[in-house]
Amino acid sequence: MSGNPKIGILVVAYNAQSTLRGVLKRIPEGIWEKIEEVFVFDDASQDATFETGQACKDEPFGHKLRVYRNPVNLMYGGNQRRGYQYAIERGLDFVVLLHGDGQYAPEVMQNLLTPLENRNAHAVMGSRMMVPGAARRGNMPLYKYLGNKVLTGVENTLIGSKFTEFHSGYRAYSVHALKRLPLEQMTHNWHFDTQIILELLKQGMKIQEVPIPTYYGDEICYVNGIPYAMNCMWESLKFAALDRWRPQPHADPLPFAPRPQE
């Protein structure tokens, strides 16, 4: 009999003082019970995000909470990369990416973990587009909805995939899979999320999508849409030109190595 996987939650946060506590409290009790830790990486926020995270250690879940502050702003991709390196150093099996601004629902986190726990995928992406009409009902602005659909369609065409969405930041990864990726060579910018999909595909990894609810509230978007779209298309073009037709390496079918029985 194998041991249970070691699970961590990476919360990337920037100027999330007003939302961070609520995001952490929305993580279901059952998730808190089975995870090793939640690690918040505050990306040199200009508000009291770090102090808010530290104060959350007084909550009932505080013994599993770790809060770190980057001395300089690493940007979205750089902050993720630091979090994944931490997960690797901690010897975790799975890591869930959660945003500190409340845009993604912690309540459905188990849906992202199940394919990993069942060893059916190396990575799981939450998709706001799998359920027709759900994104707009969740107040996704029309221009973002249309841009998402068009850009995802272009990327699918270029790389030969059939994902419903490339641009959700709610994901769960096998740390075993992350170890095989050239994280240090990847961008610090917003299109890190697209790069990591492509790098997983290059390694022959299996990616599964699951539907997630959409929520747009008062959070501030720091993404400059046009450069982001151009970078995503450029990465997909490079994949199409250099990697799409290459034979994929054999990927380990097990997303994590079972721990020895105690």
- Look at residue 121 and tell me if it is in a domain: yes
- Look at residue 256 and tell me if it is in a domain: no
Q: What is the per-residue pLDDT across 59-77, written as a single tens digit (0 to 9) for each? A: 999 999 999 999 999 999 9
- Look at residue 136 and tell me if it is in a domain: yes
For the chain, the domain total comes to: 1
Determine the Cα–Cα distance for residues 261 and 135; give it in Å rounded to an integer: 43
- Look at residue 2 and tell me if it is in a domain: no
- Look at residue 53 and tell me if it is in a domain: yes
Determine the Cα–Cα distance for residues 53 and 160; give it in Å rounded to an integer: 41
Q: What is the CATH number of the domain that holds 43?
A: 3.90.550.10
Q: What is the pTM (predicted TM-score) of this model?
A: 0.91
Q: Give the domain range for residue 32.
A: 7-242
Distances in Å between the Cα of 8 and the Cα atoms of 67, 202, 235 are 13, 25, 29
Q: What is the per-residue pLDDT across 152-183, written as a single tens digit (0 to 9) for each? A: 999 999 999 999 999 999 999 999 999 999 99
